[in-house]
Amino acid sequence: MDSSEQRIRIAVQNSGRLTDHSRDLLERCGLKLTQSKNQLFCYGENMPIDLLLVRDDDIPGLVSDDVCDLGIVGLNVVEEKRLAFENDGRKALFKQVCELDFGHCRLSLAAPEGEEFHGPESLVNKRIATSYVELLKKYLKKKNVAAEIVYFSGAVEIAPQLGIADYICDLVSTGSTLTANGLAEVDVLLESEAVIIQTKAPLNVAKQALIDRILQRLDGVLQVRESKYIMLHAPRAALAEIRALLPGSEAPTVIPLEGVPDKVAIHAVCTETVFWETLENLKAAGASSLLVLPVEKMLA
């Protein structure tokens, strides 16, 4: 078998909002990368995994066509392309396998501030500027509203000022771009974050095993992000109360303390953020010698 057949190819955004997070995530999974001179390819030095660096809009197509085995891309792009494929009478041959908890945003409708919005019926016969034609069409169809869609490939938010559209439908994260352009969000079409998609083309056993391994590592990396290892001493009598206060911890380890029969040491991995308030509550419940440590790697 050709050795290139055994290498996994992952499509990643070349230069944009998802690029650094995507590469950082893969590097945290243990992948060491060298970038080619033409900047379009990253070679995995220590694992048979390479990256193809492309525009985010091309990622679903590359995965569907089996040019890449996996892709890291926003759900907004995945859903838009899936609908576009279906409209063309083609089936999207990719499946979503993992949510990555970065690149959070939402696809929203926005109107000039002060414009009254009484639900989707306010859109009847209005012009809506967007780059997300398919997702907007689906929304309008679901709401049974006839409106005109004006395609914009970028800078959608200036369309109302130019008199080209009455509303816009665009991605929003903090909302400051909308505010700066005198627009206000009126409805949300889709909540999005970066996801991993995998080709539906059959993979040989070795390739699938490698993908499963990388997905398992990714899962560990994602879990570890918020996780902390917490150690404390507690009165035996307060054990139940203290266990209930440990955020996202299923089975803490309880260790007897030499020469102190009424106290125990508790060690736990907390998979949710440990706030100062949590520590203060634990202390109020009788805990002492509290230590919170970062977790570097986790394999369930």
Residues at the contact surface with ligand PRT, assessed by CB under 6 A: 13, 16-18, 55-57, 74, 76-77, 103, 105, 170-177, 192
Q: Which residue in 26, 20, 28 sits closest to 296, CA to CA?
A: 28
Task: Tell me which of ligand PRT, Zn ion, none is bound by residue 283, counting a contact when its beta carbon lies within the kind-specific cut-off of 5 to 8 angstroms.
Answer: none
Helix (H) or strand (E) holding 142: helix 133-143
Residues numbered 22-61 forming contacts with Zn ion, rule: CB under 5 A: 56-57
Q: Smallest distance, Å, CB 102 to ligand PRT? A: 9
The partner in contact with residue 105, picked from ligand PRT, Zn ion, none with C-beta cut-offs of 5 to 8 angstroms by kind, is: ligand PRT
The nearer residue to ligand PRT, 177 or 208, going by C-beta atoms, is 177
Residues across the chain: 300
**DSSP bridge partners of 72:** 196
- Residue 174 contacts which entry, Zn ion, ligand PRT, none (Cβ below 5-8 A, type-dependent): ligand PRT
Residue among 64 and 131 whose Cβ is closer to ligand PRT: 131
- For the chain, the 3-state helix, strand and coil shares in percent, each to the nearest 5, are 35, 30, 35
**Smallest separation (angstroms) from ligand PRT to the CB of 289:** 42
Q: Per CB under 5 A, does 80 bind Zn ion? A: no
170 binds, among ligand PRT, Zn ion, none (CB under 5 to 8 A by kind): ligand PRT
Burial annotation 217-230 (CB, 10 A radius, 16+ → b, else e): bbebbbbbeebbbb
- Cα–Cα distance for residue pair 257/265, rounded to 1 Å: 6
Give the C-alpha separation, 118 to 256, whole Å.
Answer: 63
CB-nearer residue toward ligand PRT: 9 or 228 = 9
Q: Which residues of the shown chain bind Zn ion in the complex (CB under 5 A)?
A: 56-57
